Amino acid sequence: MAGYVREVSRRVFAQEFRESNLTFKDGDDQYSPQYLLTPTGAKVNRLFIVGTLIEKEDIGTDSEYWRGRVSDPTGSFMIYAGQYQPEAAQALAECETPAFVAIVGKPSTYTNAEGTVFTSVRPESISIVDVDTRDLWVADTARRTLERVKDLDNMDSNVVKAKEHYNTDKDHYSSMVREALRSLKEDL
């Protein structure tokens, strides 16, 4: 276990996650971790999201394969859980919709025939939470996103890579954060 460092669960809003399409590996090894780099420069191998499970469907043919849609103030995340995520698949199967759920998971991408990249989340765990936790997450994610937006002027290699690839518009993401925070304040 020496030298093993657990990947941090990044905080990214659904909108930014949906607008991400750049994946890369740290190192050449087949076991090197894979990352999704988002437009504001978050290097995501794991993410933590809290939102509302608004749809769920078993789309599996032979075995159960659950698809869920989890929304936050900016959009929604697609969640896929099958036989390799037994705990999460079971949680999705048992869960009612809508419900506040907290999900820890890995980003995953799929490219269709036209070359469009779709992002989704492969959950490690799904748990039912309350509205307070959801609100805390929105504030938490707003703070981390703002930090990244402010750091967009840095010469950090991930930031540079993100800006080159996405030509990131700062205002686009700061207004996304503002909207999310305002919606939070209105609800309270």
Q: Which residues contribute to the site for other proteins (CB under 8 A)?
A: 5-11, 46, 48, 50, 101-104, 124-125, 127-129, 132-133, 135-137, 139-144, 146, 149-150, 170-171, 174, 177-178, 181-182, 184-185, 188
Q: What angle do CA 129, 124, 36 make, to 5 degrees?
A: 110
Q: Is the dihedral of CA 7, 70, 177, 139 positive or negative?
A: negative
Q: Considering the complex, what minimum distance in angstroms separates the CB of residue 135 from other proteins? A: 5
Contact call for residues 149 and 40 (beta carbons, < 8 A): yes
Q: What are phi and psi of 173, to 5 degrees?
A: -85, -30
Contact call for residues 107 and 44 (beta carbons, < 8 A): yes
Looking at the Cβ atoms of 144 and 165, the one nearer to other proteins is 144
Q: Considering the complex, what minimum distance in angstroms separates the CB of residue 62 from other proteins? A: 27
What token pair was written down for 46?
């794991």
Looking at the Cβ atoms of 22 and 128, the one nearer to other proteins is 128
Q: Considering the complex, what minimum distance in angstroms separates the CB of residue 178 from other proteins? A: 4
Among residues 129, 20, 12, 118, which one has the least CA distance to residue 73?
Answer: 12
Q: Considering the complex, what minimum distance in angstroms separates the CB of residue 96 from other proteins? A: 15
Q: Which amino acid is at 61?
A: T
